[in-house]
Chains A and B, each alone.
Chain A
Amino acid sequence: MSPEELEAAVKAAQSAGDTAWVLASAALVMLMTPGLALFYGGLVRPKNVLSTLMHSFFILGLISVQWVLWGYSLAFGPTVGGFIGSLSWIGLNGVGAEPNADYAATIPHLAFMAFQMMFAIITPALITGAFAERKRFKAFVLFSLLWATFVYDPLCHWVWGVGGWIREMGALDFAGGTVVHISSGVSALVAATVLGHRVGLGKEKMEPHDLTMTVLGAGLLWFGWFGFNAGSALAANGLAATAFVTTNTAAAMGALAWVTVAWAHKGHPSVLGAAAGAVAGLVAITPAAGFVTPTSAILIGLGGGVACYFAIQLREKLRVDDALDVWAVHGIGGTWGAIATGIFASAAVNPAGKDGLLYGNPSLFFTQVLTVAITWVFCGVMTFVILKIVDAVIGLRVPEQEEVLGLDISQHGEPAYQL
């Protein structure tokens, strides 16, 4: 075999391995959305289980098609001034089996697109926890479509698109701390505030109806998160292994920290706390996964578990009915993770990254803080505007009698359980 043939064979083998890993990761991330459905479904009352599951499952269909038709082009297409992708890739025009070296040089462009599609799907699904048990189904559909197009796609372009202005600013977001978690968490807070309380809140019990379902959902989320973070290396290599280990470590520490704080606060090692804490740790490590060491991941997971737990206490004091605590876990967890990236990042872990504050580079820390602030403001304002438009066109909430009856019957004509 000549040297040229050997080099070609090595490249082909690398491409095959990378493609297999990214496609498998896309499938892992896809499974997170049904996992999220179970996580949320267990937390609501029996009369709203199906409607809650339906939010995530329907978005799986809705955003899959939106992403193919125009979402991917807006998010990753050739930039228009750093603010949005052009429509030149509409309907995946020109997105084929050949790699796009700007994003991932060793895998088909279609594989990169499919991997990113799963992120675009789960992000609006995360928001649905804020307006569970009271939002009109048609309003949810229109809101999700508008939010994906006018919030997710532009933000994704700013942070990850070639030429995106936040990317050019030097911000680091390995797998979506800003793009996925702060965006959904802040939007959830706005949505919960605009929609108002569920009928009967504070007067009747609104306990989770099936925590076994929630723990199963958390397990699926943890499993799928390996694709989310380690897959974001976009190659089957050492960076993917680093992100895999930091992801698992932060999830573990998040669960331990949340259980401990809740135990000290409420007197019991809560099972729901273990599930929520693992998710908080996963959220926190998401922007940092490929930039930090496993020991830094321990501290990031610890901070995620503690910060998100106290964010729930704050949310309760503020009397905002973010029904399933999306803001506390994703908004605050994502904010901590993005800032922690600016603290703990090490160029020794990932030469494509940068050193953070603890390694002598305060500028990254300030860039991360600025990015967090920009994301909060953009997502908060845009979500408010979209909600007002949807309210004017369709009406956000179901009528009170339908809310009392439950959304499974009133919106979908099906009960979850035949007891």
Chain B
Amino acid sequence: MDTIILAASLVSFLALIGSWLALPSSNETTTVVAHAVPARA
């Protein structure tokens, strides 16, 4: 049973890490705005 729990905890941790890569970065919006400023100027 300890091996199964170890596997489940490993999978859950790796799944969290994987999801962070897939989730949106809130900086993307900021970057777009920052690039737009010189264009307007």
Residues of chain A touching chain B, judged by Cβ–Cβ distance below 8 Å, are: 253, 256-257, 260, 263-264, 267-269, 293, 295-296, 298-299, 302, 344, 346, 358-359
Q: Is the CB of A260 within 8 A of B9?
A: no
A295 touches B6 (CB 8 A): yes
Specify which chain A residues have a CB less than 8 angstroms from the CB of B6 in the assembled complex: 295
Can you pick out 17 interface pairs between chain A and chain B where the beta carbons lie within 8 Å of each other? A260-B20, A263-B23, A264-B19, A267-B24, A269-B26, A293-B2, A293-B5, A295-B2, A295-B9, A298-B13, A299-B5, A299-B8, A302-B9, A344-B5, A358-B4, A358-B5, A359-B1
Name B's A-contacting residues (CB within 8 A): 1-2, 4-6, 8-9, 12-13, 16, 19-20, 23-24, 26
Beyond known contacts A295-B9, A299-B9: 6 more, CB 8 A cutoff: A257-B16, A293-B2, A293-B5, A298-B12, A299-B12, A344-B5
Q: Which residues of B contact A263 (CB under 8 A)?
A: 19-20, 23
By the criterion CB–CB under 8 Å, are A296 and B5 in contact? yes
B24 to chain A, nearest CB (A): 6
Residues of B within 8 A of A296 (CB): 5, 9
User: Per DSSP, are chain B's interface residues mostly helix, strand or loop, or mixed?
Assistant: helix
Nearest-CB residue, chain B, relative to A356: B1
Docked Cα-Cα span, A358 to B6, in Å, equals: 13
A298 / chain B contacts, CB cutoff of 8 Å: 9, 12-13
Complex: how many Å from CA A267 to CA B19? 12
Chain A residues within 8 Å of B13, by CB: 253, 256, 298
Q: Is the interface of A mostly helix, strand, loop or mixed?
A: helix
**Most chain B beta-carbon neighbours within 10 Å: one of A253, A268, A298:** A298
The residues of A that contact B26 with a CB separation of less than 8 Å are: 267-269
**What separation, in Å, do the CA atoms of A165 and B13 have in the docked complex?**
39
Residues B20 and A295 in contact, CB atoms below 8 Å apart: no
Chain B proximity of A266: nearest CB distance (Å): 10
Whether A260 pairs with B19 at a CB distance below 8 angstroms is yes
User: Are B12 and A302 neighbours in the complex by a CB distance under 8 Å?
Assistant: yes
Given the known interface contacts A295-B2, A359-B1, the answer about A264 and B23 at a Cβ–Cβ threshold of 8 Å is: yes
Q: Residue of B at shortest CB range from A257? A: B16
Given A267-B24, A267-B26; A295-B16 close (CB under 8 Å): no
CA of A86 to CA of B8 in the docked complex: distance in angstroms?
Answer: 47
A142 to chain B minimum Cβ distance, whole angstroms, is 45
**Interfacial chain B residues near A256, Cβ < 8 Å:** 13, 16
Kindly list chain B residues whose C-beta atoms are within 8 Å of the C-beta of A358: 1, 4-5
Nearest residue (CB) in A for B26 is A268
- Given A267-B24, A358-B1, A260 and B16 touching (CB < 8 A)? yes
CA distance A257 to B9 in the complex (A): 12
Docked pose: A344 CA to B2 CA in angstroms: 10
- In the assembled complex, the CB of A379 is this many whole angstroms from the nearest CB of chain B, namely 31
Please, which residues of chain A bring their CB within 8 A of the CB of B5? 293, 295-296, 299, 344, 358
Count chain A CB atoms within 10 A of each CB in B4, B9, B12, B24 and give the residue with the most: B9
A346–B6 alpha-carbon span in the complex (Å): 14
Kindly list chain B residues whose C-beta atoms are within 8 Å of the C-beta of A344: 5
Complex interface: chain B residues within 8 A of A295 (CB): 2, 5-6, 9
- In the complex, A267→B5 CA distance in Å? 30
> How far, in angstroms, from A102 to B23 measured CA to CA in the complex?
53
Residues of B with C-beta under 8 A to A299: 5, 8-9, 12
CA distance A293 to B2 in the complex (A): 9
In the complex, A359→B4 CA distance in Å?
11
User: What separation, in Å, do the CA atoms of A256 and B16 have in the docked complex?
Assistant: 8
- 3 closest cross-chain pairs (CB), A and B: A298-B9, A295-B9, A295-B6
